[in-house]
Amino acid sequence: MALEKLIPPGDDLYPRSRQRVDGVELGLIRGRSGKHLLLSSSVEGFTGRRLSGGGILCPLTWENALALTKLLPRLAPRCAPESAPVFGFGDRLGLATPGHVLALEGAEVFPMLAQQSVRENARTGRSFADVLARAIFGILQVGYRGAFGADADHLKSIEDAAEAVRTGYTFYTCDPSDHVVNTSGLSAEELADRFRGMPDSVQLRARYLGKEHLVPGLGALRFTEDSLAEAAVKYGNAVRYAGKFYNWLSSLRSGHFDFELSVDETAKSTSLCEHYFIVSELQELGVRLSSLAPRFPGAMEKGVDWRGDLDSFRDELAGHAAIAESFGGYRIGLHSGSDKFSLYPLFAEGIAGNWHVKTAGTSYLVALEVLARVAPGLFRKVLQRSVSQFEQERSTYHLSVDLNRMPDIHRLSDEELAVLLTQDESRQVLHVGFGEVLRSPLGAELLGLLGESEHFHNEALRRHLARHLQGLGVKGRA
């Protein structure tokens, strides 16, 4: 039976989602009971409510998403190509993929359309399977036909990695920050003592001291006793952990996969000698890097632009890019990449497209901007909840927020509430409060409101994320 005749009364078909495969028509529909996948006839692997006309109405579950990828293999995530820049679209709500895809139109970039960290999933109560399923159905909704990847972000345990492997993720970000030593409070003597106590200190001295480590485009890196001790003490355990993590993944997952090491969440920036040390040691362990996310200088905080000296950043970026190229051309990752508009031109100019920028919280903030405009009363509740839990929620983020600098919400009219999404303090408070909001009854209200305002929400996402891609030089301006 034709798909139109199977659509329940009052429901609407997303026209771009309509597909015909092996004599079966399918599409995504929306009605009073939410979104469903509609198939013109039963297909193995799909579960749902059978219709009198012979079709089947399927809930948007992980099991049905998996069945859909078998019917339409292009909807399964893939590894990133060797040379393309990569842009990650995190989606804390499970609603943003259609808007993300609209932002991609005309962009020359490989998208991670399923990207979430363990930390974010824990706070929202979601899973890697749910994140990927929502991305797959969002891709179907708007008829996207390009390739995309799935990034299991900030993995700290093999148990979390195993879940991502079972779910079919293609990109794995190892976060060894629990094994990085904060050396900022150690004197030169203390560093030297710790280095001498390391079991491989003799081999490391032989490998790095008294040599010129040539890096094309940068020159010669020379390790001193102090810089080698700093690198080895700070990152030695983290590198060994990353090597074990990579081997675990290799034993769990057959075939090629993308592997990133993230050392961005540390107290001190990653020096060029430290970058060289990390990757050289990883190569000794047989690790094939797809991306390295160093800790850059300056204030790389969530949801706001970068603060620091741009000339210094440009020089550091050029050095990191040269080292990456000398070791085979892995990407340089910019985490906390949301809204770093002052840095995007430097990435566009300085890394020749070999970068990986990640965003997540900025899409949540777009949703809250929509909320402020269409449901100001609910927005006020979300803000109050975020403020009340801020000191607890900020503990895992590097922030310099002073709540005293926030505008007084009680003095703002409903029409003025959206200004809070343009002010650093309030943006960051809202950014890190997402878990507390989404786990509360406010979360269901927010999701329902955004569903009712879907076109407005998707258009806001398209504009905001397209601005990121334009700044990075991979999308022209309309």
Give the whole-number percent of the chain exceeding pLDDT 90: 87
Among residues 91, 130, 153, 424, which one is catalytic?
153
What would the mean pLDDT of 10-35 be, rounded to a whole number?
A: 95
**Range name among 32-36, 89-93, 215-219, 399-403 with the lowest pLDDT average:** 399-403
Q: How confident is the model at residue 408 (pLDDT cuts 50, 70, 90)?
A: confident
Sketch out the chain's domains with CATH numbers.
Answer: 3-60 (no CATH), 75-187+190-361 (3.20.20.70), 364-467 (no CATH)
User: pLDDT tens, 187-216?
Assistant: 999 999 999 999 999 999 999 999 999 999
Residue 153 a catalytic site member: yes
pLDDT confidence of 389, banded at 50, 70, 90?
Answer: confident
User: What is the predicted pLDDT for the residue at 352?
Assistant: 80
* Residue 221 confidence class, pLDDT cut points 50, 70, 90: very high
Residues contacting residue 139 through CB under 8 Å, at least 6 positions apart: 75, 97, 101, 113, 148
pLDDT above 90 (res 278):
yes
Dihedral angle, C-alpha 97, 99, 103, 107, nearest 10 °: 30
The mean pLDDT value for 298-302 works out to 88
- pLDDT for 478: 58
pLDDT at position 161 = 95
Distance CA 343, CA 312 (A): 12
Tens digits of residue pLDDT in 439-456: 999 999 999 999 999 999
Give pLDDT tens digits for 32-89. 889 999 999 999 999 999 998 889 999 999 999 999 999 999 999 999 998 899 999 9
Closest CA to 117 of 265, 250, 237, 235: 265
Per-residue confidence (pLDDT) for residue 466, from 0 to 100? 98
The question of whether 82 is a catalytic residue gets the answer no
Q: pLDDT-based confidence at 390, cuts 50/70/90?
A: confident
> At residue 380, does pLDDT exceed 70?
yes
The mean per-residue pLDDT over the stretch 391-419 comes to 84
* Residue 187: per-residue pLDDT: 94
d(C-alpha 381, C-alpha 360), whole Å: 22
Phi, psi of 298 (to 5 degrees): 85, -175
Exposure of 13 in the CB half-sphere (CA atoms within 13 A): 20
User: Over 70: is that where the pLDDT of 1 sits?
Assistant: no
Q: List the one residue out of 110, 95, 8, 67 whose CA is nearest residue 366.
A: 95
Confidence of residue 397 (pLDDT cuts 50, 70, 90): confident
Compute the average pLDDT of residues 337-358.
Answer: 93
Mean of per-residue pLDDT scores for the chain: 94
- The single residue of 260, 264, 325, 393 carrying the catalytic annotation is 260
Mean pLDDT within 205-229 = 96
